């Protein structure tokens, strides 16, 4: 299901925009003028303000396109202003979030402004520790709805003379299950004539959609790939990332290796550390065996609290031991704290407060099932539940 409103202008390729301009009986250079207005410093949100265009063309633009698809946005600050959570209400009422994180210059590295963006309003994968997974399958975002999150952030940054330096697809949704639109959005973000962000500064995070990873690699540029691995053993990963029943972890890692080979880029593996579930020495050793010798980096992230799960973050001492096991195997590893927890804006755990209260018996049943499944997984038994609906193609 997608929105039926008029198209967002930032979703058009340069060729499509030129074709539209010609269809209006206007010379092609007008397309360049429109593109400048749409993309420069995050662009304008009202066609009437593009003064270089004749009035009739401004009116036609306003009639045929939305200049901004995330116009209805509310911003909340956290971490003393270093984190900005934006809540975007889309035209059909769907709510999505993006998170802008500011990192000051340190030593030789320049200041960075990283935006975490959403690709779907909800997620069909249903990882049990994830707030977006709680919402279930939502709709796929349009190309413009994805890109306009970045334009919105860039407009805010432009006020202080700054620029967005990185975009990560770690907000709501599984980007590679909205594949065509996400790939088109990535191209728009990367295109020097449009958003103009270097490929290395665009990170796609996936729970392991193997054909999607291969399509991303085939695009050519050096996009950064992050794999939400969470567990190296299939029995446990089946529970934590239900998509694992469709594409087991070894296939995911093989596709990631091919991406590293083709692009020369190091793969980032994300592990949400869940106390007593995926943080055991057995799991650290399994991960070390799986990734040993790879061009890879592992990020260990303490789980953010999410309603309706029986789980907590692993204690820091346990995370440090896990990191040591990986480092002893020669795997570069860092421990990362999530930003924006006080406004529920940690990347990958958005939308929690809107999921609504589940009835108490349902919560109790769900917790019990998760406890049983994860206990079985610790014993090494694979789950035999069917693949979740909508992710089995």
Q: Which does 170 bind (CB under 5 to 8 A by kind): ligand SAH, ligand SF4, none?
A: ligand SAH
In the β-sheet with 83-89, what is the strand arrangement from edge to edge?
72-78, 83-89, 95-103, 112-116, 166-169, 202-206, 224-228, 267-273, 296-302, 332-335
**Is 127 in the active site?**
no
CB of 135 to ligand SAH, least distance (A): 12
Asked whether the beta carbons of 111 and 102 are under 8 A apart, the reply is yes
Q: Check binding of 270 to ligand SAH (CB under 6 A).
A: yes
What is the b/e burial string over 353-386, where b = at least 16 CB atoms within 10 angstroms of the residue's CB?
eebeeeeeeeeeebeeebeebbebbbeeebbeee
Q: Check binding of 43 to ligand SF4 (CB under 6 A).
A: no
CB of 178 to ligand SF4, least distance (A): 11
Q: Which does 304 bind (CB under 5 to 8 A by kind): ligand SAH, ligand SF4, none?
A: ligand SAH
12 or 186, CB closer to ligand SAH? 186
68 or 279, CB closer to ligand SAH? 279
14 or 310, CB closer to ligand SF4? 310
Active-site residue (options: 116, 123, 127, 347): 347
Q: Which residues within the stretch 118-147 sit at the binding site for ligand SF4 (CB under 6 A)?
A: 123, 125-127, 130, 132-133
> Which residue bears the tokens 């396109």?
65
| Long-range Cβ pairs for the range 185-189 (8 Å, 24+) | 185/119, 185/143, 185/146, 185/147, 186/216, 186/219, 186/223, 187/13, 187/219, 188/10, 188/11, 188/13, 188/143, 188/147, 189/147, 189/150
**Is 97 in the active site?**
yes
Contact letters for ligand SAH, residues 319-348 (x by CB under 6 A): -------------------x--------xx
Provide the annotated active-site residues.
97, 347
Residues that bind ligand SAH (CB under 6 A): 129-130, 169-170, 174, 205-207, 228, 270, 272, 301, 303-304, 306, 338, 347-349
């Amino acid at each position: 299901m997608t929105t039926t409103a008029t198209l967002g202008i930032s979703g058009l390729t340069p060729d499509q925009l030129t074709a539209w301009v010609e269809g209006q009986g206007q010379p092609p250079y007008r397309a360049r003028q429109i593109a400048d207005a749409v993309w420069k410093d995050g662009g304008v949100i009202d066609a009437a303000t593009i003064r270089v265009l004749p009035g009739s063309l401004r009116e036609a633009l306003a009639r045929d396109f939305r200049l901004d698809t995330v116009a209805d946005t509310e911003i909340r600050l956290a971490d003393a202003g270093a984190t900005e959570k934006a809540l975007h209400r889309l035209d059909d009422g769907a709510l999505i979030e993006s998170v802008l994180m500011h990192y000051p210059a340190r030593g030789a590295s320049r200041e960075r402004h990283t935006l975490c963006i959403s690709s779907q309003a909800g997620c069909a994968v249903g990882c049990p520790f994830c707030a977006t997974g709680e919402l279930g399958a939502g709709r796929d975002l349009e190309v413009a709805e994805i890109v306009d999150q970045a334009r919105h952030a860039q407009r805010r940054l432009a006020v202080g003379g700054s620029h967005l330096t990185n975009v990560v697809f770690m907000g709501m949704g599984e980007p590679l299950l909205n594949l065509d639109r996400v790939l088109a959005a990535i191209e728009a973000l990367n295109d020097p004539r449009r958003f103009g962000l270097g490929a290395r500064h665009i990170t796609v995070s996936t729970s392991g959609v193997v054909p999607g990873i291969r399509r991303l690699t085939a695009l050519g540029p050096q996009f950064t790939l992050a794999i939400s691995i969470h567990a190296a053993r299939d029995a446990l990963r089946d529970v934590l990332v239900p998509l694992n029943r469709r594409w087991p972890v070894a296939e995911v890692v093989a596709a990631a290796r091919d991406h590293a080979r083709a692009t020369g880029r190091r793969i980032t593996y994300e592990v949400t550390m869940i106390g007593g579930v995926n943080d055991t020495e057995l799991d650290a050793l399994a991960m070390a065996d799986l990734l040993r010798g790879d061009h890879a980096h592992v990020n260990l992230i303490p789980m953010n609290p999410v309603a309706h799960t029986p789980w907590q973050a692993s204690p820091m001492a346990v995370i440090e031991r896990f990191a040591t096991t990986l480092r002893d195997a020669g795997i570069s590893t860092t421990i990362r704290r999530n930003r924006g927890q006080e406004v529920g804006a940690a990347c990958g755990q958005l939308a929690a407060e809107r999921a609504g209260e589940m009835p108490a018996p349902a919560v109790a049943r769900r917790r019990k099932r998760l406890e049983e499944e994860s206990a079985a997984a610790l014993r090494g038994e694979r789950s035999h539940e069917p693949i979740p609906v909508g992710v089995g193609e």
